[in-house]
Structure 1
Amino acid sequence: MPHFSIEYSANLDSRLDMNAVCEIVRKAASETGIFPVGGIRVRAIRCEHYAIADGKIDYGFLAMLLRLGEGRDLPARQKAGEHVFKALSAHLDPVFANSKFALSFDMQINDAATSWKRNNIHDALKAEASHG
């Protein structure tokens, strides 16, 4: 259950392809090897209303939150987080170069006792792999 939620300022629409951003994050998460591919979710939520710093309207932000299940130790989470952040940050270099921009990424571990899930994608991926 690695679920990435990306909130971003609406003024980034002209500077970023959010489908590409989601794919960068999905691919980087898959590359870490610690997340089951069938559980990876990346979503982007456009924030129409926001206020940043001293209120200048040309500032932008992208804030990503990863919610994941228990069971990964801190060094594994840090290594995976650094990999995903590095890939996303590199993709956003042009935004940093051409505008005032803030990027953040936080991880949150869900308590298994209060987290319910139902998913048949894992089984579909296993069946696909075994049948080519």
Structure 2
Amino acid sequence: MPHCIVEYTSNLGEDAQIRPLLKKLAAKFRDSEGVFPTGGIRVRAIRLDEYVVADGEADDAFVNVMVKIGSGRDPAFKERFFGEMFEMIKAHFEPVFETRSFALSMYVEEADKDGSYKENNIHARLKHQP
């Protein structure tokens, strides 16, 4: 972990620049001073073709970023790290905010250890890289 899922409405089109955003998010997690192991980072996007925003009358758009992390991270670290992440995401979407009706949200939740099952050999591969 972490897992980061970016949901976005299809009416954003190329204006959303989703691929560059995913790369920025992954880089942010890699730059976590070792809090988030590189081998556990998963960043992905889901394009939403079926949705209703607000009253459903306008061409409103939204992006929702959901982050799930393992439990036990320092609360001060989480507040700083995810505050910085949200500012980065807001900056990414600044051109969208300037041109259309748009809603942006981010939620961070900790996974319950008792309900988390994982198997991963990527960590071992990364240990052998220079």
TM-score normalised by the chain length of structure 2? 0.93
| Distance of 1:23 and 1:49 partners within structure 2 | 25
Instruction: Provide the residue aligned with 2:59 in structure 1.
Output: 58
Unaligned runs of 5+ in 2: none
Instruction: Provide the residue aligned with 1:30 in structure 2.
Output: 30
The one-letter code sitting in structure 1 at the alignment partner of 2:12 is: L
| Distance of 1:83 and 1:118 partners within structure 2 | 30
Cα displacement (A) at 1:7: 0.8
Instruction: Answer whether contact 1:66 1:108 (CA < 8 A) is retained.
Output: yes
Deviations 1:91-111 (A, max 9, x none): 111011111111100011011
| Distance of 2:128 and 2:28 partners within structure 1 | 24
Instruction: Provide the residue aligned with 2:117 in structure 1.
Output: 116
Instruction: Provide the residue aligned with 1:3 in structure 2.
Output: 3
The one-letter code sitting in structure 1 at the alignment partner of 2:108 is: M
The one-letter code sitting in structure 1 at the alignment partner of 2:3 is: H
- The aligned length equals 129
| Root-mean-square deviation over aligned CA pairs | 1.2
| Distance of 1:29 and 1:93 partners within structure 2 | 21
Q: Secondary structure at the match of 2:73?
A: coil
| Distance of 1:37 and 1:15 partners within structure 2 | 29
Cα displacement (A) at 1:58: 1.5
Unaligned runs of 5+ in 1: none
Cα displacement (A) at 1:56: 2.9
Deviations 1:5-46 (A, max 9, x none): 111101112312211111111112222322111111111001
Instruction: Provide the residue aligned with 2:13 in structure 1.
Output: 13
Instruction: Provide the residue aligned with 1:76 in structure 2.
Output: 77
The one-letter code sitting in structure 2 at the alignment partner of 1:16 is: A
